Chain A
Amino acid sequence: MSVPRVLLGILAEGPAHGYDIKLAHDRRFPGARPLAFGQVYAALAKLDKDGLVEVVERVREAGPDRTTYAITDAGRDALVGWLSAPEPAGPYAADDLVRKTVTALRLGRDATGFLAGQRQVHLDAMKGLLDLQATTNDVAARIVIDHAVEHLDADLRWLETAAARVGSSTEDRKVDA
C-alpha cells in the first residue's frame, strides 16, 4: 500500500497537519475513495517511527491536539527511491466479476444476463468519471480519472469477451465441476 509514500510526497511540499494532509490526498485522487482519518494517522505514526517524518509542532486547542509533521532527509531519500522504482505488474487475481461468472457457469447457469447487467453498471460508472473528467483541466487529476476509466474499459472488454465466449459455446453445461 503506497499511501504512506503519497503522504510523504504531500509533506515534501511543506509541513502540514493530519487533516490538511487528508484533504490534499483526496484532492489529488478525484473519483477515488477518500482516505479515512484513521489511515492518515496510522501512516503518519509509522512514518514517524521509521524516521521519515518528524513532529515539528503540537498545538493544544479546545479540541484534540493538532500535530504538524514535516518530511525528514531520510524521508526525501525514501520518496525519491519510491518515485524512481517501477511498480510490479499485477497480479490480476480473479475479482468478484470473475468469481460470480465462473460460479454461474460451473453451476450450469446462464451467465449472459449477469454479464449484460454488469456492462450497464460499468458504463454508468464510466459515464460518471467522464463527466468528472470534463470538470477539470488539472493534468494530475485527469490522469487519476484516466486510470479508473481505463480499468473500467478493460473490465468492459472482458465482459464483452466473456459474453461472446458464453454465447458461442455449446459446451457450457459440460464445464468441469
Chain B
Amino acid sequence: MTVLLQAKSVRKSFAQTEALRGVSVEFNAGETVAITGPSGSGKSTLLLCLAGILRPVAGEVTYDRQRLDLLGEADRTRLRRREMGVVLQFGQLVPELTAVQNVVLPLLLERHERAAARRLALSWLERLGAADLADKVPAELSGGQAQRVAVARALVSGPRVVFADEPTGALDTVAGEQVLGQLVGAVRDAGATLVMVTHDNRVAASADREIVLRDGAVEAAGIAT
C-alpha cells in the first residue's frame, strides 16, 4: 500500500491549550478512515493540520512526499484546491449562489472553461441524486440536500483525498445515512482517500479503520481490513 498522507509527531496549541500532543498517523491511498474520540480530543484540529489549513507548531505533515508544514499559505491553498476536497458539518455553501454554481466554483478557481465546468458540476449533482436541486439556492435546500451539494463540490475537481468534518453531524439519521452512503461510495469509486472526523458510530463503522484520539494523542489506530 502507498502512504499518501502522513502526520509525524504533530503538535498544535491554541493559547494555553495543547490540542495535539505529538500525533503520528498514516493514510494509505484509497482507504477510508474515521477519526473519532470525545469532544476536545483534537479530532478537528488534526483534520485541519492534515488538510494544510492549520500549520502545526511542531512535527511534520507530508502529502505525497511534500512537506505541507513547510509550504507557504498560497502554495498550500493551491495544492488543496487541486488535490483535496473538504466537506464540513453544515455544508458551508455560498448562500448567494445556486447549487450548481457552488459546485462549479472550485473548477472556476482552477480556471476551467465555464461550459465544461458546468457540465461536470451537473454530472456530479446527478451522481449524488441532486440534479433537480441545481438551480436552488442553499436557503431552499434541506440539510441533507445541502450536504449532498457540498459532497459534489468536494469531489468535482477529482481530489485524491477528501476530508470530512462531522459530515452527518447536522442531519437526522435517515438523511445522514444517505449522505454517508453517497460520500463513501463516491470517494471509493473515485479511488480517493477519505478522512472523516466523526461522533457518529455509523460513520465510524463505514470506514476501513478507525483512529481514536483522546486528549490530543492517539489512543488506538485500527489496522486496515
Q: Cβ of B210 < 8 Å from any Cβ of A?
A: yes
For chain B, which range describes its interface: under 10, 10 to 19, 20 to 34, or 35 or more residues? 10 to 19
Q: Which of A130, A134, A160, A167 is in CB contact (< 8 Å) with B205?
A: A130
- Minimum CB–CB distance from A64 to chain B (whole Å) comes to 43
Q: Is the CB of A127 within 8 A of B206?
A: yes
Measured between beta carbons, the chain A residues less than 8 angstroms from B210 are 120, 123
Docked complex Cα distance between A175 and B38 (Å): 25
Q: Given A127-B206, A160-B38, A167-B214, do A120 and B201 touch, yes or no (CB 8 Å)? A: no
Report A95-123 CB contacts with B as 1/0, cut-off 8 Å: 00000000000000000000010001011
Interface residues of B in 194-217 (CB under 8 A from A): 201-202, 204-206, 210, 212, 214
Do A157 and B214 touch across chains, with their CB atoms under 8 A apart? no
Which of chain B's residues has its CB closest to A117's CB? Answer: B220
Given contacts A134-B181, A160-B38, A164-B38, contact A126 B222 (CB under 8 A): no
18 additional contacts (CB under 8 A) given A123-B210, A124-B205: A116-B219, A116-B220, A120-B210, A123-B201, A123-B204, A123-B205, A126-B201, A126-B205, A127-B205, A127-B206, A130-B177, A130-B205, A134-B181, A149-B202, A152-B201, A153-B201, A160-B38, A164-B38
Sample 11 A-B pairs with CB under 8 A, ordered by A number: A123-B205, A124-B205, A126-B201, A126-B205, A127-B205, A127-B206, A130-B177, A130-B205, A130-B206, A133-B177, A153-B202
